[in-house]
């Protein structure tokens, strides 16, 4: 399951240790986790492969890092963002010149809903307010 490597990042940051089985096959084709592991290593993780199991430890905890990916990877971006959210310090993710639309979208998405831009649609707002007012008085 591909999500196993994603969930290792926050577990590793919080507990200092995470263990999972290696992700299986994918209909798309080979989907290695080397970029995920390389980024986590830069943040202080120590991966060990024991048969089909992956053991990640971070004896000193995870710390911020300046990470440059060899090529765009949405999954790696998600893993490293999850790790960075709980790591000490600041993490910077850098990408090759051409990134995928999904990576750009993920990187430009605000972390907090308050930061989301508000689009004002006067007609929708009036209609919504009118309907809400009518519903609140039973008419």
Backbone phi, then psi, for 123, in 5-degree steps?
Answer: -65, -45
Where does residue 91 rank: exposed (0-12), middle (13-18), buried (19+ CB within 10 A)?
A: buried
Q: Cite the active site residues.
A: 26
Q: What pLDDT does 105 receive?
A: 57
CA distance 63 to 90: 8
pLDDT digit string, tens, across residues 64-101: 999 999 888 888 999 999 999 999 999 999 887 655 56
Q: Which long-range contacts (CB under 8 A, 24 or more apart) does 121-129 make?
A: none
* Mean pLDDT taken over the chain: 77
7-11, 34-38, 42-46, 91-95: range with highest mean pLDDT:
42-46
Tell me if residue 56 falls in helix, strand or coil.
strand
Q: Which residue has the tokens 């790696």?
A: 76
Please report which residue ranges of the chain form alpha helices under DSSP H: 3-15, 34-42, 74-86, 101-108, 122-136
């Amino acid at each position: 399951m591909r999500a196993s490597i994603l969930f290792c990042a926050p577990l590793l940051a919080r507990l200092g240790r995470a263990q999972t089985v290696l992700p299986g096959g994918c209909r798309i084709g080979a989907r290695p986790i080397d970029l995920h592991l390389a980024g986590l290593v830069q943040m202080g993780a120590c991966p060990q492969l024991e048969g089909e199991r992956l053991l990640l430890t971070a004896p000193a905890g995870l710390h911020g890092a300046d990470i440059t990916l060899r090529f765009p990877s949405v999954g790696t971006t998600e893993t490293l963002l999850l790790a960075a959210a709980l790591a000490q310090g600041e993490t910077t993710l850098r990408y090759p010149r051409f990134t995928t639309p999904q990576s750009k979208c993920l990187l430009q998405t605000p972390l907090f809903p308050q930061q989301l831009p508000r689009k004002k649609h006067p007609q929708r707002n009036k209609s919504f307010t009118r309907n809400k007012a009518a519903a609140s008085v039973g008419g």
